[in-house]
Amino acid sequence: MHAFQFNQAIVRTPGRSIVDGLRAHGAPAPDRARIMVEHAAYLDALRQAGVRVQVLPALEAYPDSMFVEDPALVFAEFAVSLTLRANSRAGEAALLYDALSARFSTVQRLADGHVDGGDVLVLGDEVLVGVSQRTDRQGAESLAALLDQRGLSTRVVATPASVLHLKSGCSLVDEDTVMATAEVAAITDFGTRRVLVTPHGEEGGANVLRVNGHLLVSRMYPRLVEMLAREDLQLLLMETTEIAKVDAGLTCMSLRWQQDA
């Protein structure tokens, strides 16, 4: 399974209502105009990395709907429509379903419980599903069973109480390397992979996005950027000041997959 080889992506335009998005840590409301600038740069980075991007219209009734990775998972041959735990996001999966059905011949639905896609880390040989504030154990186990049936080895793991989503605290750098906060690294078994631990005070930078030969990284974390500059990757530095105010990272703003010609 290719964990970071992508040529297709779905994103959603931020609505004016993004200023009312969920904020777990009491951050000030973001500036919508600046979010639009950050989002446009994000789309440019995906395209620069070799991805064709489908842009869906804003959903004003759902402030957090630009974070399309939470209500769905996508793989090369199928997609999964998830069930979100946050009441304000409960309708998002249904409104994304048609776009998924148009791109995938198979779209499965989560059978039980709740899962946010931000809690699902796809590695080269397995999938980790984190139990968190947004993903309950019933949902995690239901998703694991579904993915196991599709031939994807899946493991349910714990997420620290202070971490919103599993991928808020860890992400894939390459087939053999993950980036993680010290807190997540201490309790998560990443197998034989090398773990790069975020510098103290820059834990928010743990969510990086590998796309083909490029690595999208927030420029808010200079010591982390310096660490990653030593890796054999082309870094694309992203401005995330405003999206960070609504608990967002780089992975959550797109659904990405490899579509064979």
Q: Which two tokens stand for residue 112?
A: 């039980």
| Type and span of the H or E element at 48 | helix 32-48
Q: In this structure, are residues 136 and 146 in contact, taking their beta carbons and an 8 Å threshold?
A: no
CATH superfamily of 8-257: L-arginine/glycine Amidinotransferase; Chain A (3.75.10.10)
* Residue 108 exposed, middle or buried by CB count within 10 Å (0-12, 13-18, 19+): middle
Out of 114, 165, 170, 214, pick the active-site residue.
165
How much is the average pLDDT of 102-123?
Answer: 97
Q: How far apart are CA 13 and CA 4, in angstroms?
A: 23
The domain locations on the chain are 8-257
- Is 170 catalytic? The answer is no
Residue by residue, DSSP assigns 169-191 as: SEEEEETTEEEE-HHHHHH---T
- Confidence class for position 28, pLDDT limits 50, 70, 90: confident
- Is 200 catalytic? The answer is no
- Confidence class for position 130, pLDDT limits 50, 70, 90: very high
Out of 39, 114, 170, 252, pick the active-site residue.
252
- Confidence class for position 90, pLDDT limits 50, 70, 90: very high
- 181, pLDDT greater than 90: yes
- 23, pLDDT greater than 90: no
Rounded to the nearest integer, the mean pLDDT of the chain is 96
How much is the average pLDDT of 248-261?
Answer: 93
Q: How far apart are CA 56 and CA 100, in angstroms?
A: 11
- 27, pLDDT greater than 80: no
